[in-house]
A and B are shown apart, each in its own frame.
Chain A
Amino acid sequence: MPEPESVVEFRGVSRRFGGMLAVNDVTFAIRRGEFFSLLGPSGCGKTTTLRLLAGFETPDAGEVRILGRVANRERPYERGLAMVFQSYALFPHLTVARNVAFGLEQRKVRAAEVRERVARALELVRLDPATYAARMPAQLSGGQRQRVALARALVLEPRILLLDEPLGALDLKLRKQMQLELKALNRELGVTFVYVTHDQEEALAMSDRIAVMHDGRIAQLGTPAEIYESPRTAFVADFIGEANFLGGRVGDAAAGMWTVTRDDGTRMRVPDHPALRAAARVEVAVRPEWLDLSRPGEGPPGENALPATVQDVIYLGETMHVQVTLGDGTPVRVAVRNEGQLIKPLQWRRGDTCLVTWLPEDCQVLEP
C-alpha cells in the first residue's frame, strides 16, 4: 500500500470540555516529513489538538486520521507515535538508559538490541552514553533532560513525533541551539514533527508550516512567510510579529488599487483583495519594518504617506523603533534599520512632525 501524502489528517474535529469547545471543527492535514507547528496563545486549543492526535483525548465530533486510518478510538500506544512532553516526564526512578529503553522493553525488543539502540539514540541527541547512561534524571540539567526525553521518543523510530512546548523551560541560548538541532533531526530522520508552541519566533524559525490557533479554531495555516507577510485576520497579524492597524472606508478602485479614506480624512491606497467592498469599512495591517519616516513634504512618490508626530524613539541596536501618532491619534510603530555609516538614519526627536510612508502593496487587508 503506498503511503498517503498526509500522515495526519483532522477532519472536522471538535472536543468539548464542559460547556467550552476547546477544539472547534478543526480540519487540516500534515504532510509526510514536514515540521508542522501548532501556534497560539494559552487556551487556544493547540495542546488539546496535540492530545487528540496523541490519543489522550477522544474527539466529540470528526475524524482523526493517522497514516490513512481512522484513529479516533485507538489508545495512545496503538498509534505508532512518540511524544516529548512539556515537563519532559522522565521516569525519576529509572536511569537515563532505562528511561530511553522503556519503550523498547514494552515492545519486547531483545536486550542486546535494546542496548545498542539506546546508545545510538543517546548519541543522536549528543549525549555521550558512557557518561550519561547510568545517571538519574535528577542529576541532569534541563537541557540534558530535554535530550533524554527526545532520545526516549526517537529510539522507537516513530513516523510521527509530537512535541508539546519542549523548549519552554530552557534558557534563551540553549533554546536557540535546540531549535537548530530539532530542525536538523527532522530533516535527517525524515520523521514528521508536530510541534506545539506559544512562541511565535520559535514557530517561524523552525516550521515548514504553521497552524495559528485561536479560540479552538485554526485562524490561518501556511508557511512562516505566508503567515508573517499575509496575515488573514487581525488576530494573526497581532500575534505573529508586530503590526500597525489602520482602518478606513473603501472608496474607488483604479489600476488594481483601492482608495481608502481614514476617519480623519487622510487617504491611503490598498491593493485589491476579495474582502474589499466599495463603501464598506476595512482594516489593514502594516508591519513596522515596512514603514519608513520622511520629513513633511519629502515622501517618496507613489507611496502612501500619512502625517504624524513623533512620540518616542527606542534604540534597539540593530533597529530603532520610532513611536508616532497619526492625526487622529492612532499610534503607529515604525522600525528603522540601523545601517551603520552607510546610510545615516534621520535623527528624530519627540514632537517632530513627519510623514509615515510605505508601499501600498505592503498593506495587508484583514478579513473581518
Chain B
Amino acid sequence: MTARRRLLGWLHERPRVRGWGLFAPGAAWIVLFFLVPLVILLAYSFMPRGTYGGVVPGFTLDNYRRFFDPLYLGILQRTVLLSLLTTALCLLLGFPTAWAIARSGRWRNTLLFLAILPFWTSALVRTYATMVLLRDTGLVNALLKRLGVIDLPLHMLYTEGAVLAGLVYGALPFMILPIYSSLEKLDPALLEAAEVLGARPWARLARVVLPLTAPGIAAGCMLVFIPTLGSFVVPDLLGGAKVMMVGNLVQNQFGAARDWPFGSAASFVVMTLVLAAVMGLLQVGRREAQPEGRAE
C-alpha cells in the first residue's frame, strides 16, 4: 500500500480530523490577518501617542474622549447620514431594477451581467471617470451648455451631492443582487393569488412581496450600508477636502497625522456602529421570517 493510500484510509476513518483539516487553513488565514491586527488596533486605541508619532506603552481613554469633540462628531454624523441616504437611494433604485431583472425572462442573464459589469474595473478608476463626468469642464456641464440649459457650469464636483452620487453608483449592484435572488424565488402564483383575493398593486407589494423578500432587502441594505460607512476613496476624490467621512479621518490619522491611537479609536467607534446596524437588521430579518402574528 502506498503512503498516499494509507493516508487517505487513515483520514477516511477520522471524519473529525478531516473536518478540521478542511477548516484550519482558511481559519488560520483569518486569525492571522483579521483577528490579530484587530486586537493590535484595539490595544493601540487605549494607548497614548508618542511625541513623534508611534505608540508608547500606557493606558488612556483620551483617544475615545477626543473623538467626541464636535468636529469629529460632525464628521461621524455626516458619515452616518450619507450612508443612510446611500442605502435608501440604492433601495429605491435597486428594488425596481431587481424586480425588472427577475421578471425579464430570457433577458435575465444579460441584465444580471450588465448589473455586475462595473466590478470588472477598479473602483478607483471608476471614481476618476466620475470626476471627468462631473467637473466644471466635464461631460455633464458641456452637454447642458450645448443644450442651452445653463450658461455657467454647474458646480457639481466636491459637493456632498457628488459624494452621494458616487457612493450610490458604487454600491448599487450590492443592493440589486441579493434583492434579485430573493425576488427570483418568489412564486408568481402568490401574487396572482393575492390579486384574485382582492389585493391592489400596493397591497400586494406590502402584504406579499416585501415580507417574503425581507431577507434579501436586509442583506442588500447591510452590503450597502457597511462598506459605505467606511468608504474613503469616493469622498476623497469626489468630495475633495470638503466632504470628509470617518473613513478619511481614519486614513489621515494613520497617514499624514501619524496618530495611530486616535485612528484606532475612530475605527472602533465605526466598527461598533456597524455591529449595531447589523444586529438591528438581523433583528428585522428574523421578525419578518416569523409569522405575521396570529389570528385571535
Q: Please report A residues at the B interface, Cβ cutoff 8 Å.
A: 54-56, 75-77, 81-83, 85-87, 89-95, 97-98, 101-103, 106-107, 114-115, 118, 133-134, 136, 152, 156
Interface positions of B from 247 to 296, Cβ below 8 Å from A: 288-289, 291-296
- Sample of 26 A–B contacts (CB below 8 Å): A55-B196, A76-B195, A77-B199, A82-B197, A85-B189, A85-B193, A86-B189, A87-B189, A91-B193, A91-B194, A91-B207, A91-B208, A93-B291, A93-B292, A95-B292, A98-B295, A102-B207, A106-B199, A106-B200, A106-B203, A107-B198, A114-B295, A115-B295, A133-B294, A133-B295, A134-B295
| Alpha-carbon separation in the docked complex, A362 to B192 (Å) | 46
Q: Is the CB of A94 within 8 A of B189?
A: no
| Alpha-carbon separation in the docked complex, A92 to B192 (Å) | 14
Q: Is the CB of A94 within 8 A of B292?
A: yes
The total of interchain contacts (Cβ-Cβ below 8 angstroms) comes to: 86
Q: Is the CB of B190 within 8 A of A77?
A: no
Q: Is the CB of B197 within 8 A of A93?
A: no
Known: A93-B212, A106-B198. A101 touches B189 (CB 8 A): no
Interface positions of B from 199 to 213, Cβ below 8 Å from A: 199-200, 203, 207-208, 211-212
Q: Is the CB of B192 within 8 A of A89?
A: yes
Name the residue of chain B whose CB is nearest to the CB of A77: B198
Residues of B within 8 A of A152 (CB): 193, 197
For the complex formed, measure the closest distance between the CB of A129 and the CB atoms of chain B, giving whole angstroms. 9
Residues of A within 8 A of B192 (CB): 54, 56, 76, 83, 85, 89
Residues of A within 8 A of B293 (CB): 98
For the complex formed, measure the closest distance between the CB of B287 and the CB atoms of chain A, giving whole angstroms. 11
| Alpha-carbon separation in the docked complex, A86 to B189 (Å) | 9
Known: A76-B192, A83-B196, A156-B197. A92 touches B295 (CB 8 A): no
Q: Is the CB of B196 within 8 A of A54?
A: yes
Closest 5 CB pairs of A and B: A97-B295, A106-B198, A103-B197, A89-B193, A89-B189
Name the residue of chain B whose CB is nearest to the CB of A86: B189
For the complex formed, measure the closest distance between the CB of A308 and the CB atoms of chain B, giving whole angstroms. 50
For the complex formed, measure the closest distance between the CB of B232 and the CB atoms of chain A, giving whole angstroms. 40
| Alpha-carbon separation in the docked complex, A302 to B272 (Å) | 98
Name the residue of chain A whose CB is nearest to the CB of B289: A93
For the complex formed, measure the closest distance between the CB of B153 and the CB atoms of chain A, giving whole angstroms. 49
| Alpha-carbon separation in the docked complex, A134 to B212 (Å) | 19
Residues of B within 8 A of A54 (CB): 192, 196
B151 at the interface (CB under 8 A from A): no
| Alpha-carbon separation in the docked complex, A94 to B208 (Å) | 9
Further 18 A-B residue pairs, CB within 8 A, beyond A94-B291, A98-B291: A56-B192, A76-B195, A77-B199, A77-B200, A82-B196, A89-B187, A90-B193, A91-B194, A93-B288, A93-B289, A95-B294, A98-B292, A98-B294, A102-B207, A103-B198, A106-B200, A118-B295, A152-B193
Interface positions of B from 162 to 178, Cβ below 8 Å from A: none
Q: Is the CB of B194 within 8 A of A102?
A: yes
Residues of B within 8 A of A86 (CB): 189
| Alpha-carbon separation in the docked complex, A56 to B187 (Å) | 15
| Alpha-carbon separation in the docked complex, A115 to B203 (Å) | 21
Residues of A within 8 A of B199 (CB): 77, 102, 106
Residues of B within 8 A of A103 (CB): 197-198
Q: Is the CB of A81 within 8 A of B292?
A: no
Name the residue of chain A whose CB is nearest to the CB of B211: A93
For the complex formed, measure the closest distance between the CB of B189 and the CB atoms of chain A, giving whole angstroms. 4
Q: Is the CB of A102 within 8 A of B291?
A: no
